[in-house]
Amino acid sequence: MKGKKQKEPVGFNPAEIFAALALLEQERGIPQSFMMEKIVQALITAYKRDHNEVENVIVDVDEAHKDLRMYVQKAVVDEEDYVDPGNEITLADAKHISAKYEIGDMVNIPVDTVEFGRIAAGNGKQVIIQGLREAERGMVYDEFNSKQHEILTGVVTRVDPRNNNVFLRIGTGTDTNEILLTAGEQVPGEVLSEGMHVKVYVVEVRRSTRGPQVLISRTHPGLVKRLFELEVPEIYDGTVEVKSIAREAGSRTKMAVWSNDENVDPIGACVGPKGQRVAAIVEELRGEKIDIIKYSEDPAQFIAAALAPADVVDVWMADEGKACRVLVPDDQLSLAIGKEGQNARLAARLTGYKIDIKPQSYQENEEAEPAAPAETAGGEDEEILDLPQE
């Protein structure tokens, strides 16, 4: 015959825990099962901390009756083998609980209700707070991890005058998060102020001991690609592909595009009627210049196109490695190189080739006099390749 159920001590009511978890799930979207798992583990840890000799502790979660019970599991042993009271019970004592027990069985011994109540009351609130924080971090991670390499719109909530870091509120209603946009990921010269709506690119989401770290950017080339996907239906549906992008944020971008439909002009699709599509993106990027170039599987053609607006007379490809020498009209050498080498630099990044730019007269005068130092798109420190003449 079962004994009467012991009354719960003042200060601990399992039903209140269930009610609190139900409210958290309703208001914050945190599953009750997640929080209950945290509470159960904390109760077991607390009991073992107070009873070092005890190895097996379980907490029975009775969802139907909104009740929690703690038990110590003990092995049934013969009287002569009984040496560990914390984890063993004699056969005679086990028989007092139920005649069914035999040597080797495990018996669940209820923990004193008062002691269990003390442990639960002392740890329950703390665990709920910690579990809530952990669950929210997990939810933030999941939310932003699913949006990696996508565009999000945020509202500037504050600007740190010490380092120009900007904090953005992303989300709507109660489902919002404040995310840091570091100064290094902001467009040079762009001034962000409180209340501004800003589009950002989610570069990466990492887990850390301080919670999820969300890296957002206004300078990443991926931002340009996603903006074109939003503005150009042909890119969104895959008719037009963005093959590569080279960007110096705030100044200039080169983007190579290709059409999978011979009846669709990839450049025209991106520019849009009267230039409306590209104009909308330029406005979002605060006036950044965008060169849209037709991609070619022929490296020489691709490189020549990438050096626009300069005309290209000839392209000599290296026998080995991704390098080439380009001849341009003498009067367009500075145009091909660009201000501070920007045009050549972006063309090299766009195509993946090291580009050595020479004036057309270079070929004619090469044997007559020493050549001037070559303009190399890859950077000043890169080796100038000696390519064979045709």
* Fold designation for 14-144: N Utilization Substance Protein A; Chain:P; domain 4 (3.30.1480)
Residue among 238, 390, 245 nearest 314 (CA)? 390
Specify the DSSP element, H or E, that contains 385.
Answer: none
Strand partners, 68: 61
Q: Beta strand pairing status for 106-110 and 314-317?
A: unpaired
Q: Where in the chain is the domain with CATH 3.30.300.20?
A: 299-390
Contact 132, 184 (CB under 8 A): no
pLDDT score for 16 = 80
> Does a cis peptide bond (omega within 30 degrees of 0) precede residue 309?
yes
The yes-or-no verdict on residue 3 having pLDDT over 60 is no
The yes-or-no verdict on residue 297 having pLDDT over 80 is yes
Six-digit token string for 233 = 């239906």
pLDDT score for 320 = 82
The yes-or-no verdict on residue 127 having pLDDT over 90 is no
- The residue among 263 and 372 whose pLDDT is bigger is 263
Q: Where in the chain is the domain with CATH 3.30.1480.10?
A: 14-144
Distance separating alpha carbons of residues 96 and 77, to the nearest angstrom: 14
Give the pLDDT band of residue 120 (cuts 50, 70, 90): low
Q: Where in the chain is the domain with CATH 2.40.50.140?
A: 147-219
Which residue type occupies 12?
F
- For domain 299-390, give the CATH number: 3.30.300.20
* Fold designation for 147-219: OB fold (Dihydrolipoamide Acetyltransferase, E2P) (2.40.50)
3-class secondary-structure state, position 75: strand
Contact 303, 293 (CB under 8 A): no
Distance separating alpha carbons of residues 178 and 211, to the nearest angstrom: 13
3-class secondary-structure state, position 37: helix
pLDDT, tens digit, 9 for 90 and up, residues 329-386: 999 999 999 999 999 999 999 999 999 999 998 776 664 444 444 444 444 333 333 3
Question: pTM for the complete prediction?
Answer: 0.66
The yes-or-no verdict on residue 388 having pLDDT over 60 is no
Distance separating alpha carbons of residues 214 and 168, to the nearest angstrom: 12
- The residue among 4 and 87 whose pLDDT is bigger is 87
Q: Give the torsion sign (CA, 185, 190, 194, 198).
A: negative
- The residue among 130 and 163 whose pLDDT is bigger is 163
